[in-house]
């Protein structure tokens, strides 16, 4: 009970500081460009830490440690896929998107695609923005649901009240300061996350050596004692099935290749090429430490609790922190995990609002900055209401399409836009529509159980993009705006 009280006190202090910091940054927003993309003037360290906090959030602190705890060494394939995707994105895509954003003076993710294929600008804006806003709208609702469930699991707080509190935390600074406030609050989240993922495993390993009464005295021993499915990188399967399982883990790679708008916007907002290089280095180092730490925490939990010691595998990180550290320190680290969800929710919210106001409601008479703030507030409120009214299973089903559908489809669009001059606007529209339809059909039909849509959508969208580029006549006149 004392530990829970300390967690609550630390969380209140932490979140109060976070909200205050976000509002302070919001005071620096003077124009719509500041609100939508931080004036495209982010220093490299801020862009890198924000991108990593947004990209990983509760995945690195709850999801991946839980997966490592539940599956053992097979979780390596997921980690390898994610790390490879992140490194590829920062090394080959980030600086190109930054340069393009500067060249075309863009404010949103869809802005970039539309300007690069200017002769089909309007259809691209409508299709891209509708897809992003629709699915990310439910994604925001899912973050509210996740916040409510986490607060209920940890403190017994009513889930609806937890949802409201989660929304209350992010709405003020997100509405006021937009992308700038979101980025700089993400920086705090990212620092707390990486501290947790570095010191957690270090002290966890020390704990294993000094407590002989637990399940195992080391990670390697825990994996061996848990059985062959834990100690093998292919689990308990072999042959073709093992290959499919490994591909499924690695498939996270494809979603990082420019296709996640909330991540690509961080690339586009970097101040200059020198800062982009600095951001790349910081992000890659952060990623290597973070994924090593996340896997290690899961496996340390396996050594402490055994393979059947936790009812919910995704509670392994807070359970390990409470076992290894004094309550006050554990409270700080666990608070970082709870708050990490915020770095996803606020990013998705501001992205959806700016996409909607810039591309679908572009010609309203009120100022662009005021319009964006109004849309941000309205989307947050509606997402909260929907999270309460719509069955959570439906929301999570729609969110399930995001990484495959949006990530796989838009990764193809971004890659071909950057690297293939022949790719044209009409092929972009066809690729987006068919990619999303394919994802929904593939997952809904149950084929996801055979081969993940994270692979198949990317492959299908790529084939569609190439074929449509050749068989559909490109626009006769290129009216790209510069």
Q: Does residue 235 sit in helix, strand or coil? A: coil
Q: Which residue has the higher pLDDT, 342 or 140?
A: 140
Q: How large is the average pLDDT for residues 264-278?
A: 96
What are the phi and psi torsion angles at 270 (to 5°)? -70, 140
For residue 242, what pLDDT band results from cuts at 50, 70 and 90? low
- The answer as to whether 370 is a domain residue is yes
Q: How large is the average pLDDT for residues 83-106?
A: 95
For residue 237, what pLDDT band results from cuts at 50, 70 and 90? low
How many domains does the structure of the chain reveal? 1
- The answer as to whether 445 is a domain residue is no
Range with the lowest mean pLDDT among 151-165, 286-300, 440-454?
151-165
Each residue of 196-216: pLDDT tens digit? 999 999 999 999 999 988 999
For residue 314, what pLDDT band results from cuts at 50, 70 and 90? confident
Q: Which residue has the higher pLDDT, 209 or 360?
A: 209
For residue 1, what pLDDT band results from cuts at 50, 70 and 90? low
Each residue of 180-190: pLDDT tens digit? 999 999 999 89
Residue 115 above 60 pLDDT? yes
Report CA torsion sign: 212, 7, 171, 396.
Answer: positive
Q: What is the model's pLDDT at position 482? A: 35
- The answer as to whether 451 is a domain residue is no
Q: How large is the average pLDDT for residues 105-123?
A: 91
For residue 240, what pLDDT band results from cuts at 50, 70 and 90? low
With a CB cutoff of 8 Å and minimum separation 6, the contacts of 468 are: 426, 427, 430, 431
User: Per the structure block, which two tokens stand in for 268?
Assistant: 């586009």
User: Per the structure block, which two tokens stand in for 63?
Assistant: 């999801």
Instruction: Note down the domain range covering 71.
Output: 2-391
Residue 107 above 70 pLDDT? yes
In this structure, the number of other CB atoms found within 10 A of the CB of residue 37 comes to: 26
Residue 154 above 80 pLDDT? no
Each residue of 15-56: pLDDT tens digit? 889 899 999 999 999 888 999 999 999 999 999 999 999 888
- The answer as to whether 35 is a domain residue is yes
For residue 416, what pLDDT band results from cuts at 50, 70 and 90? very high
Please report the DSSP string for 172-201 in residue order.
Answer: HHHHHHHHHHHHHHHHHHHHHHHHHHHHHH
Each residue of 418-460: pLDDT tens digit? 999 999 999 999 999 999 999 999 998 989 888 889 899 999 9
Q: What is the model's pLDDT at position 186? A: 92
Closest among 292, 475, 357, 428 to 107, alpha carbons compared: 357
For residue 471, what pLDDT band results from cuts at 50, 70 and 90? very high
- The answer as to whether 59 is a domain residue is yes
Q: What is the model's pLDDT at position 480? A: 45
Residue 140 above 90 pLDDT? no
CATH of the domain at 120: 1.20.1730.10
pTM of the full predicted structure? Answer: 0.90
Q: How large is the average pLDDT for residues 109-113?
A: 93
Highest mean pLDDT among 169-173, 241-245, 395-399, 464-468: 464-468
Closest among 75, 73, 64, 60 to 219, alpha carbons compared: 73
Q: What is the model's pLDDT at position 362? A: 65
Q: How large is the average pLDDT for residues 229-257?
A: 77
Q: What is the model's pLDDT at position 364? A: 60
Q: What is the model's pLDDT at position 357? A: 83
Q: Which residue has the tokens 């927003």?
A: 29
Q: What is the model's pLDDT at position 442? A: 93
Q: How large is the average pLDDT for residues 299-315?
A: 91
Q: Cα(first)–Cα(last) distance of the chain, in Å? A: 61
Q: Does residue 452 sit in helix, strand or coil? A: coil
- Share the mean pLDDT of the chain: 88
| Cα–Cα distance for residue pair 445/393, rounded to 1 Å | 17
Q: Which residue has the higher pLDDT, 5 or 355?
A: 355
Q: What is the model's pLDDT at position 238? A: 58
Q: What is the model's pLDDT at position 239? A: 60
Asked if 462 contacts 412 with a C-beta cutoff of 8 angstroms, the reply is yes
- The answer as to whether 415 is a domain residue is no
Q: What is the model's pLDDT at position 363? A: 57
Range with the lowest mean pLDDT among 253-257, 292-296, 425-429?
253-257
In 356-424, which ranges are continuous DSSP H helix? 368-389, 392-401, 409-419
Residue 396 above 90 pLDDT? no
What are the phi and psi torsion angles at 42 (to 5°)? -75, 135
pLDDT-above-90 percentage for the chain:
54
- The answer as to whether 364 is a domain residue is yes
């Amino acid at each position: 009970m004392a530990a829970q009280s300390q967690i609550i006190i630390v969380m209140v202090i932490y979140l109060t500081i976070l909200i205050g910091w976000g509002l302070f940054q919001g005071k620096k927003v003077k124009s719509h460009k500041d609100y939508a993309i931080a004036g495209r003037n982010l220093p490299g360290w801020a862009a890198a830490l924000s991108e990593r906090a947004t990209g990983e959030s509760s995945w690195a602190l709850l999801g991946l440690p839980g997966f490592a705890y539940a599956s053992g060494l097979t979780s390596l394939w997921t980690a390898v896929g994610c790390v490879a995707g992140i490194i590829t994105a920062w090394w080959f895509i980030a600086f190109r998107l930054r340069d393009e954003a500067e060249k075309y003076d863009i404010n949103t993710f869809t802005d970039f695609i539309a300007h690069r294929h200017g002769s089909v600008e309007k259809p691209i804006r409508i299709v891209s923005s509708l897809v992003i806003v629709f699915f990310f709208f439910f994604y925001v609702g899912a973050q509210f649901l996740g916040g409510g469930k986490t607060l209920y699991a940890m403190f017994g707080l009513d889930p609806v009240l937890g949802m409201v509190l989660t929304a209350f935390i992010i709405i003020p600074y997100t509405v006021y300061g937009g992308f700038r406030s979101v980025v700089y609050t993400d920086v705090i989240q990212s620092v707390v996350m990486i501290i947790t993922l570095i010191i957690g495993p270090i002290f966890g390993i020390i704990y294993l050596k000094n407590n002989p009464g637990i399940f195992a005295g080391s990670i390697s021993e825990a994996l061996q004692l848990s059985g062959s499915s834990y100690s093998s990188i292919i689990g308990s399967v072999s042959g073709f099935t093992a290959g499919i399982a490994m591909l499924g883990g690695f498939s996270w790679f494809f979603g990082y290749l420019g296709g996640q708008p909330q991540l690509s916007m961080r690339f586009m907002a970097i101040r200059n090429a020198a800062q982009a290089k600095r951001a790349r280095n910081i992000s890659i180092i952060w990623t290597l430490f973070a994924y090593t730490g996340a896997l290690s925490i899961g496996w340390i939990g396996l050594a402490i609790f055994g393979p059947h010691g936790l009812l919910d595998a995704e509670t392994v990180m807070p359970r390990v922190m409470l076992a290894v550290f004094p309550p006050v320190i554990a409270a700080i680290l666990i608070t970082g995990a709870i708050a990490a969800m915020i770095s996803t929710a606020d990013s998705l919210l501001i992205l959806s609002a700016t996409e909607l106001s810039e591309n679908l409601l572009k010609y309203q008479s009120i100022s662009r900055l005021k319009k964006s703030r109004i849309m941000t507030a309205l989307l947050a409120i509606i997402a909260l209401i929907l999270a309460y009214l719509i069955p959570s299973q439906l929301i999570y089903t729609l969110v399930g399409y995001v990484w495959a559908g949006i990530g796989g489809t838009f990764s193809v669009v971004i890659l071909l836009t950057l690297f293939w001059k022949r790719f044209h606007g009409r092929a972009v529209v066809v690729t987006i529509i068919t990619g999303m339809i394919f994802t929904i059909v593939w997952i809904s039909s149950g084929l996801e159980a055979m081969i993940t849509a994270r692979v198949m959508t990317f492959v299908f969208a790529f084939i569609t993009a190439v074929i449509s580029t050749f068989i559909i006549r490109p626009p006769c006149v290129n009216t790209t705006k510069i």
